[in-house]
């Protein structure tokens, strides 16, 4: 997540925001972005989440796509709206809020 926050603060982040914006009126742009940018990264992230589930590190009843949306959705929100900093402190806060819901310990939901 910290890597994505760094990328989103870079010139590449501006390109990503522009492509997402353009995709709102040009669906084929958004589809190409999802197919060539989002999905390859989510494939790897799903693999890592499934491994963590197999290792007992996170709950087995969780849908990997939902977990990814919960973790990365806030980063995309700040990328697009620019209403607050997209920095390491924010990434740490998101992880602190989301991680108890992933936990296999009795302290989780």
Q: Is residue 78 part of a domain?
A: yes
Q: Is residue 107 part of a domain?
A: no
Q: How many domains does the chain divide into? A: 1
Here the CATH number for the domain that contains residue 81 is 1.10.357.10
DSSP assignment letter at 22: H
Domain boundaries, position 89: 2-102
Please compute the mean of the pLDDT values over residues 39-68 and round it to a whole number: 96
Q: Is residue 90 part of a domain?
A: yes
Please name the residue that has the structure tokens 């920095």. Answer: 87
Q: Which residues contact 95 (CB under 8 A, 6 or more apart)?
A: 1, 71
pLDDT at 108: 47
pLDDT at 47: 97
Percent of the chain with pLDDT over 90: 91
Q: How far is CA 85 from CA 19, 60, 90, in A?
A: 21, 33, 7
pLDDT at 1: 87
Could you give the 3-state DSSP secondary structure of residue 93? helix
Q: pLDDT, tens digit, for every residue of 28-50?
A: 999 999 999 999 999 999 999 99
Which band of pLDDT confidence, cut at 50, 70 and 90, is reported for residue 106?
low
DSSP string for residues in 56-82: TSS-TTS-HHHHHHHHHHHHHHHHHH-
């Amino acid at each position: 997540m910290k890597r994505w926050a760094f990328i989103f603060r870079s010139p590449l982040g501006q390109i990503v925001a522009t492509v997402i914006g353009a995709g709102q009126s040009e669906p084929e742009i958004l589809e190409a972005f999802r197919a060539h940018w989002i999905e390859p990264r989510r494939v790897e992230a799903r693999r890592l989440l499934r491994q963590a589930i197999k290792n007992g590190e996170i709950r087995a009843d969780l849908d990997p796509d939902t977990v990814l949306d919960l973790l990365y959705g806030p980063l995309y929100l700040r990328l697009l709206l620019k209403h607050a900093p997209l920095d390491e402190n924010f990434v740490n806060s998101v992880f602190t809020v989301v991680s108890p819901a992933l936990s296999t310990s009795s302290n989780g939901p």
